[in-house]
Structure 1
């Protein structure tokens, strides 16, 4: 049933040889890797206004210069990451660049920052998408968490179906958003330039009753740090270079440039319209929703803008679903995360990374009630930390390589490191008390955890490494113990197998039902008088507790060079649902005994069929021996 459900949701598995055909064109890659950065436009301008609007109309006029500073930083990072794409065509972004050039710890810090960023991207993007939906349909306002989890489930299933398939599905919302928002900006600029009538924005109580006549540096820094959320996702393309069609570095660089130019026009345009229309943020309607209402009314184009905005915000999480598994696989390859993160699933994607990202994002959405403003303060710290380490690593890369143009290349990345480092300090200081402290504390803890995982893998490799001469301690005696619940063919099958391995065999029975003990012992002595059976009392009707105590004593009393082998009789039904009708005591016992150092634990299976034989007992020739007594 599980297998059928899996096939229905994610489709048939793909062969390894088709991996090359799963790579993306620039058209699809723009939808997959830029949806995060493009979607930030939908809330970055609004976050700036949340800081400046309470000071009055005077402070609102600063939103455009702040946006200009952010866009200058964007262009600097774009040029810097273009160099990273060509220098590291195998992807990995900030983690690989920092690890290769700055060392293990800076690499882990960058990798951890990226991981946190991707988790927050999913949470913030989906929460923002739901906010856009509830702006258009206020009746849905009481259900933000439920809507967030629904969209998260859709994205998870879509990405488990494979990179190429998810790109095809999610491309349309991205391009509809780009076209509709640019059209809205064009309409607004056109109407304002020609002096066409535009309804005034409603007076918002967020505007202070006593407007300020000056603005402090602290407010400017806070507004700048809030608006820097527009730059999240800029590094995504450099992380996913291997997923581009050849020539992959060139295609990735072109995609990055196109993405940045779109952000410049959209982010700048939304901020400009908000300023000339005097739009202020509201708790029940987004800034883009207010702009669209004023410019085109609540007709079909309004709902197209809102619908595409909601979809791009939700689809923005798709960037993280592409990059988080990639970064996790690189960390796993280097031994800093469980090896399972480096394995591709049925659809040639890193399924374990996708599922883990979905689970952690769902937890954040539940804890923060799907509220964008609760999540935003946690955002951007990890992003700019990764930016700074990556650009600093690239400076050292050019310094060591010293090719023909290394000074110019190092200067470009140095400028990127300076700008992003400055933004990191501003964001960390201004958002510290609003939640950024949590990210700052969590990053060292995760780095410590990754280091412990790496130490474990190194220690395991050391202990398992084969060296000359090969030495092995062979047991001089094998003692076999067979747990017996009753006298059945399953037990007979196991005892006959045990007799082929050793002469020292004993059975053990836990007396949960005292009335049946005599019958079981009588049958045992009749068929196997030469094999002793020990009966363990269980006055509280527990099975596992007496068995654990018994095997602990057996292990303690074992002679030197004596091997204790536990053979567990198990039967398996013909269908999966019949298996659920029986207790799984054998599985529980195996789980406990496998932790013992001096025991070998094995299951001896007995498979049942659909039909019934004499007296309703299933006959399985060859699985168990028939005995007539001795």
Structure 2
């Protein structure tokens, strides 16, 4: 049943030779890898206004110069990451750049921050998309969390079907979003130019604002910078592009930068001119659409597509997280399972891990976007800063042709990214302080994992200088619970291996039962030695392990190995297992981690 459901949802497995067909062209890559950045225009401008509204509507004009500063930052990041793409065409982005140029710890910090950021990408995007849905249908507001979880599951299934298939499906909503937002911006500007919007709705640019402080301006700038999340995703996902991958990736990055700049500027300007104030129950984009078109068909089209793109923006995380996880896993900093491709040639373990982690975040934060965005943004600007700093070191060390220009670009990018990162920590410390704990903790976990893998490698590696100690013989211990076909099957298997000795071990809870069992055994298997152990506290494990210790100690003297063959019956239907004690599983669980002891299960399958 499970495999049938899996095939319906995920599709038929793809051959390894079809991997080349899973590469993206520029059109699909722009939709998949830029959806996070492009969708952030739906909540980035709103984050600016949420800060400015604390000192009154007269301060809303400040969103214009703040937006201009964010566009300067966007330009610096696009130019900087374009250089990262050509310098590191195999992907990895900030993690690889930082590790190679700033050291392992810096690389792990960047990689850890990005992994967390991609999880937050999914949680924030889905939560924001849910907000857009409930803005149009307020009666659904109570069901924000269940709706968000359902949407995560849908996106996960789409990504498990493979990158090209998901790209083919998800590209249309992304381009529709760009189209309808442009239509809304043009319609809004037309109404403004034709005098249909009253200039009294907003304060004039330059109006004095009471209570204004540098701290508040920096806080608004940092909040609005959340619109730049996802800019780095293209540099992480270069392997997903068709050849020439670096060229296609750089063009896609430039196109994303231009679209993001136009959409962000348009929404900020309309929000200012319309005098829009953020509301708990309605997003800024919803209010702009309502003022521009009224609550008619066009409004619901915009809201529907905005909700869709906000949900699909999570796909940036689904595209970039597995590839970053692969790089970390190849370097032995996270589990090797992240390097395994699934049935549809995607890194399905990374996709599933991302889904589970994002669902947990949505539940913990109750789907409230504003509580997630500060952590989300700080997780972006740490890798931004480290990547630019790493590129500075690279240019200074290698000095390639034109290195001074490249150095200047990355220096500006590093300075701005570092400034924004510090602004986040200073102005939003109550919300972002957890990053100071969990990011070092993640780096520590990475190093512990790496230490384990190195230790495993050392122990697996064959050294020709090490003496070979052959096993001289084998002693088979067979725990038995009665005289049955299950035990008979195990004994026959033990005899076929021709060990030096087979010992059946029976744990009795009653002296009389012990005596009776010995008599029956001697009649049934007179050639197999039986050892009975009396357990006055009705424990099977304790007397059995003590006996195994005794046998092992004697076996070591002759360089013999002890093997425990555990008889186990397998029921025809899985639910039947719940009707049995499963003592064999309990014995196996207790013996499995004992050094120098071989534990083997011998199954006996029931026919009915």
* TM-score, normalisation: structure 2: 0.94
Residues 126-525 of structure 1 mapped to structure 2, 5 A cutoff: 126-197=126-197, 212-433=209-430, 435-469=431-465, 471-499=467-495, 500-511=497-508, 520-525=517-522
Tell me, yes or no, if the aligned pair for 1:198 and 1:294 is still in contact at 8 Å. Answer: no
Tell me, yes or no, if the aligned pair for 2:565 and 2:600 is still in contact at 8 Å. Answer: yes
Equivalent in the alignment of 1:92: 92
Tell me, yes or no, if the aligned pair for 1:200 and 1:294 is still in contact at 8 Å. Answer: no
Unaligned runs of 5+ in 2: 203-207
1:61 correspondence with 2:57: no
Please state whether the residue corresponding to 1:533 is helix, strand or coil.
strand
Unaligned runs of 5+ in 1: 203-210, 611-630
CA deviation map 1:14-64 (0-9, x unaligned): 111111110011111111100110111111100110100121132111011
Equivalent in the alignment of 2:205: none
Matched pairs, number = 602
**Deviation of residue 421 (structure 1)?**
1.0
Tell me, yes or no, if the aligned pair for 1:85 and 1:241 is still in contact at 8 Å. Answer: yes
Cα distance in 1 between the residues matched to 2:39 and 2:549 = 60
Cα distance in 1 between the residues matched to 2:509 and 2:323 = 52
Tell me, yes or no, if the aligned pair for 1:379 and 1:436 is still in contact at 8 Å. Answer: no
Distance 1:267 1:553, change over 3 A: farther
Cα distance in 2 between the residues matched to 1:33 and 1:63 = 27
CA deviation map 1:256-304 (0-9, x unaligned): 1111111111111111011111001011110111111111111111111
**Deviation of residue 398 (structure 1)?**
2.1
CA deviation map 1:548-568 (0-9, x unaligned): 454455546654323211011
Tell me, yes or no, if the aligned pair for 1:201 and 1:294 is still in contact at 8 Å. Answer: no
Distance 1:436 1:557, change over 3 A: farther
Distance 1:470 1:249, change over 3 A: same
Equivalent in the alignment of 1:570: 568
Tell me, yes or no, if the aligned pair for 1:78 and 1:257 is still in contact at 8 Å. Answer: yes
Distance 1:572 1:302, change over 3 A: same
Cα distance in 1 between the residues matched to 2:307 and 2:548 = 60
CA deviation map 1:480-516 (0-9, x unaligned): 1101122122211221232342242211223368886
Please state whether the residue corresponding to 2:248 is helix, strand or coil.
helix
Query: Is 524-533 or 324-333 further displaced after alignment?
Result: 524-533
Tell me, yes or no, if the aligned pair for 1:569 and 1:605 is still in contact at 8 Å. Answer: yes
1:596 correspondence with 2:594: yes
Please state whether the residue corresponding to 2:142 is helix, strand or coil.
coil
CA deviation map 1:292-331 (0-9, x unaligned): 1111111111111111111111111110011111111100
**Deviation of residue 520 (structure 1)?**
4.2
**Deviation of residue 384 (structure 1)?**
0.6
Tell me, yes or no, if the aligned pair for 1:200 and 1:277 is still in contact at 8 Å. Answer: no
Cα distance in 2 between the residues matched to 1:589 and 1:9 = 39
Cα distance in 2 between the residues matched to 1:321 and 1:543 = 48
Tell me, yes or no, if the aligned pair for 2:63 and 2:268 is still in contact at 8 Å. Answer: yes
Please state whether the residue corresponding to 1:47 is helix, strand or coil.
helix
Please state whether the residue corresponding to 1:143 is helix, strand or coil.
helix
**Deviation of residue 220 (structure 1)?**
0.3
Equivalent in the alignment of 1:26: 26
**Deviation of residue 199 (structure 1)?**
11
Cα distance in 2 between the residues matched to 1:514 and 1:187 = 93
Aligned match for 2:604, one of 599, 606, 610:
606
Tell me, yes or no, if the aligned pair for 2:113 and 2:380 is still in contact at 8 Å. Answer: yes
**Deviation of residue 449 (structure 1)?**
0.8
Cα distance in 2 between the residues matched to 1:584 and 1:36 = 50
Please state whether the residue corresponding to 2:313 is helix, strand or coil.
helix
CA deviation map 1:524-546 (0-9, x unaligned): 21121232323344566554455
Cα distance in 2 between the residues matched to 1:147 and 1:200 = 39
Please state whether the residue corresponding to 1:328 is helix, strand or coil.
helix
Cα distance in 2 between the residues matched to 1:19 and 1:292 = 43
**Deviation of residue 575 (structure 1)?**
5.5
Residues 550-565 of structure 1 mapped to structure 2, 5 A cutoff: 550-552=547-549, 554-555=551-552, 558-560=555-557, 561-565=559-563
CA deviation map 1:571-630 (0-9, x unaligned): 3345555566555433332232120112111122334446xxxxxxxxxxxxxxxxxxxx
Cα distance in 2 between the residues matched to 1:592 and 1:8 = 40
Query: Is 24-33 or 400-409 further displaced after alignment?
Result: 400-409
Please state whether the residue corresponding to 1:483 is helix, strand or coil.
strand
Please state whether the residue corresponding to 1:142 is helix, strand or coil.
helix
Q: Which has the higher helix share?
A: 2
